[in-house]
Amino acid sequence: GPGEGARPGNPAAGDKDRPIGYGRIQRKEDPRFIRGKGRYVDDIVLPGMLHGAILRAPVAHARLVSIDTSEALAHPKVKAVITGKDLEGLNLAWAPTLSADVQAVLVTDKVRFQGQEVAFVVAEDRYAARDALELIDVEYDILPPVIDARKALDADAPVIRDDLAGRTDNRIFDWEIGDADETEAVFAAADVVVAQDMVYPRVHPAPMETCGAVADFDPIDGGLTLYETTQAPHAHRTLYAMVAGIPEHKIRVVSPDIGGGFGNKVGIYPGYVLAVVGSIVTGKPVKWVEDRSENLMSTSFARDYLMRGEIAATKDGKILAVRTNVLADHGAFNATAQPTKNPAGFFSIFTGSYDLQAAYCKVTGVYTNKAPGGVAYACSFRVTEAVYLVERMVDVLARKLEMDPAELRLKNFIRPEQFPYANKTGWEYDSGNYEPAMRLSMKMAGYEELRREQAEKRERGELMGIGVSFFTETVGAGPRKHFDIVGLGMADGAELRVHPTGKAVVRLSVQSQGQGHETTFAQIVAEELGIPPEDIDVVHGDTDQTPFGLGTYGSRSTPVSGGAVALVARKVRDKAKFIAAAMLETRPEDLEWEKGRWFVKGDPGAGKTMAEIALGAHGTVALPDGIDGNLDAEVTYDPPNLTFPFGAYICVVDVDPGTGRVKVRRFIAVDDCGTRINPMIIEGQVHGGLTDGVGMALMEIIEFDEDGNCLGGSFMDYLIPTAMEVPDWETGFTVTPSPHHPIGAKGIGESATVGSPPAIVNAVVDALAPFGITHMDMPCTPARVWEAMQGRPRPP
Ligand code: MCN
Ligand code: CUM
């Protein structure tokens, strides 16, 4: 397609379809990964290191009566057993969450979800630590749990958070946005109104590598080195300093190679804190690495939104307004990782890609006896839920109006000339050109032909479905004035150093978990300075080595840190001009830039390459006043707005009427993330996200029984897709650069996870249309699909 191939390009120079910084190059990080030479937290072994294990609660809600640790302490290999009481003595029993709540590090009063942390054993090896857990004797007084969020606010519901002063119910917050009256007026006057209840079930990011930490506290100098599975090392360090009282300059957080994050590694988990306490108590380094069940049962889940959507339209299909009411299940502690002022994340972008007259939403957050979390799994701060809501609703409307769902979308898109577009809930979409993306996806799919095939198959009683979704994302938080996490503004730093021989190192505040930053951020510098990417080292994930910044989530690395890197490179380029002028004995204003060198205007032969300038900067040429003898620079980038990538997805499914099995036969994904840095990495991100979508739409759910037992605690129960369940993805792209981003790039890391579930569910519902089925909740498992078909007249 256009823009492919390994050639340097510059979108600013007009060829906007061209990838930048040498484009589709192979990933610099892969030689170590494919040889098994990645260095993950569990690979770290320190002299004298001990191992920790966590005793977890077997029940969802219970008063803690007593803990007897004497037998465990008597185990010959056990060095320490830590309980909530011990932590109370250190003032560490409770830790602040990222959402202005507190969370128990170890239970002191009451167990609030199954799998909650009760005690921590430190022993000579991992096996002894685990064995000793069995020797701890705990007495619980079991309480009735709150499992169904719909019952959390009942008058007789047990109060889960009786630790919070004055708490008499399970309500966390009520939050609303948009104009309720204006929206009601539009609904009252509309020709057509449709409504649908839907559940975005609780799912889990389930990264390949579970969470873990190695804490190394030095009792002599009071310093702490903490190796951690974290997506945000700087923010973690600041929080540890605030909470544990260890001075910030004495803390070094290192996030080495990470085996997938997907939002699971944003928060601070009790296990990390316990590793630190264990190291302080024993005077030895302590490693804690959770197992798969611990990861699935206790770390940050995703979604769990119970939504009611309503849409108002004219009878010829002009959408006028969207309204929604949400019950948000946050689990036992409000620990969602999101900007402070956004209790429902960025759900308020539920207005989607459509030009509306009015919109209104209300979200009520409640506590239940389930694991805390909520914002994870490539959600773009709950844009997943928002896109699912609006894209399902548009299909419900299409069915009601008997219109083609693609046509209905085309009719309602925000038009190109309306950008920047201010939507009804306070966002300013930076740029968009929706119709060409939709048309391209339809062309790639052969949409008309597919509809014909479907009609023929229906005649024969075969169940084929075609599902469409069109999404707009909001990623790249964000302007400091709007977004912070626990008071830390959302900006990112970058430092660039060009060594005397012209090789460079760029230091980032964001942290890759598999996204390929070591490659793409080198490509940005390559684009700006003309130094080949292989000569640029990318350093990240170590607070001692990198500038402060808020880390990787919400697909913010390219929008924020990517902007920082482009600007820091331009700063170096500007400085290089002064040094080149001194070397060429000319005036800086007489120089002109071409990729990789400054030369004298009108005399292209007289110039200096970046490598020559770098050597010159460190050499003997007299530099002008104010120019330091190096080729280094640093910036902190506070973006003016978020970026709004978008995409058009079409899914084709076949449903087996006998078994209810859904087969995703084809999936066409057209994405627009503005200027594309590395098309291969973008495709990889999209393939991964589409696979997530198949998982959520068809297989994945973290369910609980009525006692609060987690039914998704292993990969035998929590099903994730493999190559067997996914088709060969058909990807395409359009390029609509962000007008405010230094290189025009928007994020892509979560687009496909956000955009694909509604396309798949729309396809399943479309396949089942002959049965009169208009909605089905995820996951559309064979059992659910089969059951939905029962008792309904079979199609002809
Ligand atoms: N990219 C590009 N051109 C663009 C936009 C992005 O070449 N216009 C490249 C980037 O330079 C980067 C990658 O694509 O190498 C993803 O960039 P971006 O969209 O900025 O997202 P982040 O790097 O901030 O990654 C975070 C995002 C999130 S929030 C989740 S969740 C998720 C995702 O990335 N987790 C992942 N993708 C993941 N991929 C892997 N392999 N592992 C995870 O844990
Ligand atoms: Cu919401 S998962 Mo990602 O933003 O780390």
Q: Give pLDDT, residue 793.
A: 76
Please report the atom of ligand 2 found closest to the CA of residue 556.
4
Instruction: Give how far the C-alpha of residue 416 lies from the chain's centroid of Cα atoms, to the nearest Å.
Output: 28
Please report the atom of ligand 1 found closest to the CA of residue 745.
8
Q: Give pLDDT, residue 796.
A: 56
Q: Give pLDDT, residue 241.
A: 95
Cβ of 550 below 6 Å from ligand 2:
no
Distance 686 CA to ligand 1 centre (A): 10
What is the DSSP secondary structure assignment for residue 10, as one 8-state letter?
Answer: -
In single-letter form, the type of residue at position 82 comes to I
Q: Is 787 helix (H, G, I), strand (E, B) or coil?
A: helix
Cβ of 378 below 6 Å from ligand 2:
yes
Cβ of 379 below 6 Å from ligand 2:
yes
Task: In whole angstroms, give the CA distance from residue 712 to residue 299.
Answer: 13
**Ligand closest in space to the Cα of 511:** 1
Cβ of 676 below 6 Å from ligand 1:
yes
**Ligand closest in space to the Cα of 380:** 2
Q: Answer positive or negative: Cα dihedral of 689, 691, 694, 696.
A: negative
Q: Quick one: tokens of 614? A: 């770098």
Cβ of 300 below 6 Å from ligand 1:
no
Bridge partners (DSSP) of residue 323 are 310, 360
- In terms of phi and psi (left: phi > 0; alpha: psi -120 to 50; beta: otherwise), the region of 744 is left
Strand order in the sheet with 632-637: 536-539, 504-508, 492-498, 632-637
Q: Give pLDDT, residue 532.
A: 94
Within 10 A of 724 (CB to CB), how many other CB atoms are there? 5
Q: Quick one: tokens of 754? A: 């956000």
Task: In whole angstroms, give the CA distance from residue 497 to residue 499.
Answer: 6
Cβ of 375 below 6 Å from ligand 2:
yes
Cα dist. 565→23, 538, 574, 745 in Å?
A: 17, 11, 14, 12
What is the DSSP secondary structure assignment for residue 745, as one 8-state letter?
Answer: B
Query: Which positions of the chain have pLDDT values less than 50?
Result: 1-13
Q: Is 215 helix (H, G, I), strand (E, B) or coil?
A: strand
Cβ of 556 below 6 Å from ligand 1:
yes
Q: State which H helix or E strand residue 253 sits in.
A: strand 251-254
Q: Is 310 helix (H, G, I), strand (E, B) or coil?
A: strand
The pTM is what? 0.97
Within 10 A of 658 (CB to CB), how many other CB atoms are there? 9
Q: Are 44 and 226 in contact (CB under 8 A)?
A: no
Q: Give pLDDT, residue 4.
A: 38
Q: Give pLDDT, residue 5.
A: 36
Cα dist. 3→19, 188, 251, 789 in Å?
A: 6, 48, 45, 46
Closest by alpha carbon to 775, among 315, 388, 458?
388
Bridge partners (DSSP) of residue 358 are 321
Closest by alpha carbon to 550, among 600, 481, 477, 448?
477
Q: Quick one: tokens of 228? A: 């951690």
Q: Give pLDDT, residue 11.
A: 45
Q: Give pLDDT, residue 245.
A: 86
**Ligand closest in space to the Cα of 339:** 2
Cβ of 550 below 6 Å from ligand 1:
no
Q: Determine if the peptide bond prior to 478 is cis (ω within 30°).
A: yes
**Ligand closest in space to the Cα of 692:** 1
